[in-house]
Amino acid sequence: MLHSTVERERFVPALAHSWLTPLYDLAVALPTRERVFKREMVNQIEAAVAELGEPRILDVACGSGTLALRLKARLPSAHVVGLDGDSAILRSARSKARRRQAEIHWVHGLSHSLPFPDHSFDAVVSSLFFHHLSPAGKRQAATEMSRVVRPGGTLLLADFDRPRNVWMNAAFLLAQMIDGFTNTADHRAGRIPGMLSDVGWKQIEIRRDWNTWLGTLTLLAARKDSPLVDRRTLHGCGGDLADTAREPETMGDTPR
Ligand SMILES: C[S@@+](CC[C@H](N)C(=O)[O-])C[C@H]1O[C@@H](n2cnc3c(N)ncnc32)[C@H](O)[C@@H]1O
């Protein structure tokens, strides 16, 4: 299927070319140690939202929905939203969710302008995404994520970082040849934590790193400051996500 002009301009397909998208799940599993790092992301989100009855979790650039599905399986009472700029990969996410009878809200949208009101989520996650964005795109996405998460909420980012040894250096060179040198330069230089700090995220820490076939992958955690605001008040004001997502950009399943 042909993508619209807007889509072509604003998002990079998961494997760089749209015709490769159906192979995404196969292509990513081993080289990125997907099972291992996504299991850890789910563990950490579970711990972060442990006090909340029905946490709201957003997966930005969710791709074929693997992480969103894992989150929903571990946290059945959570409202899980998966957003991606590619309608083709979202269709695949949606059919996986149907097969597993998982109730996830899929939203077609772009990271630089997330179609949600301020403070809509308790946690925002994203994996294998930032290295596709230009330096300006990374800042915009991190700023938008901060806007849509509630004060005190959590960000978890899994992506490539400064190679930890000579083997990882060589491996990341391969990733850069595939994904481009401009967008991956900040990752090689270890500049992602500083960029998160620049746009206002607090308590930024690298929680884990893994050696993968494509370089050093790290799990970065950050928190949105402002302990004085009560989550229940915010949710009371914000209403249900389904009512507030901007309609023209959504293609979600019927939300609860
Ligand atoms: C390498 S895939 C990662 C998918 C998933 N997060 C994972 O861990 O498997 C990158 C995804 O980012 C999406 N994408 C690229 N640019 C985007 C943008 N600006 N806004 C939203 N999604 C975008 C692509 O459609 C693709 O699904």
* Contact predicate 115/147, CB 8 Å: no
The topology (CATH level 3) of 5-249 is: Rossmann fold (3.40.50)
CA of 232 to the centre of ligand 1 (A): 31
Q: Pick from 97-101, 222-226, 249-253 the range whose average pLDDT is largest.
A: 97-101
Query: Domain-by-domain residue ranges, the chain?
Result: 5-249
> And the tokens for 201?
């995220």
What is the mean predicted confidence (pLDDT) over 12-25?
Answer: 69
Give the torsion through C-alpha atoms of 4, 68, 188, 186, to 10 deg: 60
Which residues have any ligand 1 atom within 6 Å of their CB?
A: 10-14, 28, 61-63, 66-67, 84-86, 89, 110-111, 127-129, 132
CA of 227 relative to ligand 1 center, distance in Å: 31
- Side-chain half-sphere of 156: how many Cα atoms within 13 Å? 27
Q: DSSP label at 227?
A: T
Separation CA 234–CA 150 (nearest Å): 8
Give distance in angstroms: CA of 60 to centre of ligand 1. Answer: 7
Substitution site in 60, 112, 129 for ligand 1 pocket (most atoms within 8 Å of beta carbon)? 129
Ligand 1 centre and the CA of 244: distance in Å? 23
Per-residue pLDDT at 18: 73
Q: What is the DSSP letter of 19?
A: G
Nearest to 106 by CA among 120, 90, 117: 90
Q: Helix (H, G, I), strand (E, B), or coil: what is residue 120?
A: coil
Would you place residue 5 in the very low, low, confident or very high pLDDT band (cuts 50, 70, 90)? Answer: very low
Of 83, 106, 94, 95, nearest to 10 by C-alpha is 83
Minimum mean pLDDT range among 108-112, 136-140, 173-177: 173-177
Q: Predicted confidence band at 256 (pLDDT cuts at 50, 70, 90)?
A: very low
Mean pLDDT, range 244-249, rounded to an integer:
38
Q: How confident is the model at residue 242 (pLDDT cuts 50, 70, 90)?
A: very low
Tell whether the model's pLDDT for residue 240 goes beyond 70. Answer: no
Q: What pLDDT digit, counting tens, does each position of 78-96 carry?
A: 999 999 999 999 999 999 9
- Find the 41 Cα to ligand 1 centroid distance in Å: 17
Q: Measuring from atom 17 of ligand 1, which residue has the nearest CA?
A: 11
Strands (E), 109-214: 121-127, 149-160, 202-212
Can you tell me the distance from the alpha carbon of 104 to that of 68, in angstroms, rounded to the nearest whole number? 8
